[in-house]
Amino acid sequence: MLDLRFSDAELDERRDHITNFVREQVDGAGTDGAVLGLSGGIDSTLVAHLAVDALGAEGVHGLVLPARVSGDDNMSDAERVARELGMSYDVIEIEPIVDSLLGAYPEAEGDRTAVGNARARVRAVLNYLVANHESRLVLGTGNRSEAAVGYFTKYGDGAVDCHPIGNLYKAQVRQLARHVGVPEDLAAKPATAELWEDQTDEDEMGFDYETLDTILVSHVDGPLSADVTAREHGIDVETVETVRRMYERSEHKRRAPASPDPLE
């Protein structure tokens, strides 16, 4: 497997590059700061740290948005992040909103993916309620590994104004998080979307992030063929091809919606 970790000098450079990016996005939009969802996971925790670095604690508003399936430990970690960074935050239970959607369309009851994605979309609505009301930008927390395989909800956690860590692979997210002072228990946590009970990213995707990152860097974003990637890294060629297909099939999530070509 590839070791994607940055050198110490690169870590500082990356941190500065991202904090400058956040400042430029907020200033360029003429807004007064940023809002983001805090899940207690490593992606949102890292973005919160970088955003507070960039904008100061008063420039960042956190939303902790528990659902029925959210772990209490994750929600208390999310609050801990906001408190330790000194940023303002609200805790808003989203399940009554999800229940009301299902009351309006009961056919989706029990459909794990549809309901899970609705949770992510309810969070997006709340992020934008705050963004509109307080003149803030919504910060995305997606990284390159998730984006490449479409492992996010279209117009849910994907509905954001910019992606500060959008160029980082998951291993780099963990490393930069440790570098900026994210506590080790958060930096080491297994990734979970928490859209339904006991969900973990690696179980659902069917491979681990180390394998995913290696395939992305070598094959999907890099120059190696599927066969060479598999041989060089000791990965099944089927897994390499699965990742490639996930990348191709999720192209629509990374683009603006299509319209017909103009008539000649």
- The phi-psi region of residue 56 (left if phi > 0; otherwise alpha if psi is between -120 and 50; otherwise beta) is left
Rounded-to-integer distance, Cα 87 and Cα 60, Å: 6
Q: What number of chain residues touch ligand DND (CB under 6 A)?
A: 16
Torsion angle of C-alpha atoms 106, 112, 170, 249, degrees rounded to 10: -80
For Mg ion, the closer CB: 117 or 192: 192
Residues in contact with ligand ATP by CB under 6 A are 36-39, 41-44, 63-66, 70, 123, 141, 146, 157, 191-194
Binding characters for ligand DND, 138-157, by CB under 6 A (x = yes): --------x---xxxxx-xx
Tell whether 43 is in a known binding site.
Answer: yes
Tell whether 37 is in a known binding site.
Answer: yes
- Judged by CB under 6 A, does residue 66 bind ligand DND? no
Tokens of 50: 């970088």
For ligand ATP, the closer CB: 66 or 150: 66
Determine the residue type at 123: R
Tell whether 59 is in a known binding site.
Answer: no
For ligand ATP, the closer CB: 192 or 211: 192
Tell whether 40 is in a known binding site.
Answer: yes
For Mg ion, the closer CB: 175 or 192: 192
Longest dimension (CA), the chain: 59
Rounded-to-integer distance, Cα 151 and Cα 171, Å: 16
Tell whether 39 is in a known binding site.
Answer: yes
Query: Which of 19, 25, 39, 211 is the binder for Mg ion (CB under 5 A)?
Result: 39
Q: Please say whether the beta carbons of 213 and 171 come within 8 A.
A: yes
The neighbour count for residue 245, using CB atoms within 10 Å, is: 11
Q: Please say whether the beta carbons of 47 and 139 come within 8 A.
A: yes
Rounded-to-integer distance, Cα 191 and Cα 39, Å: 11
For ligand DND, the closer CB: 149 or 220: 149
DSSP helix/strand/coil, 109: coil
Q: Which residues are annotated as a binding site for deamido-NAD(+)?
A: 121, 154, 161, 252-253
Residue ranges that bind ligand DND, judged by CB under 6 A: 113, 117, 120, 146, 150-154, 156-157, 193, 195, 201, 204, 252
Q: Which residues are annotated as a binding site for ATP?
A: 37-44, 141, 170, 192
Q: Which residues are annotated as a binding site?
A: 37-44, 121, 141, 146, 154, 161, 170, 192, 252-253
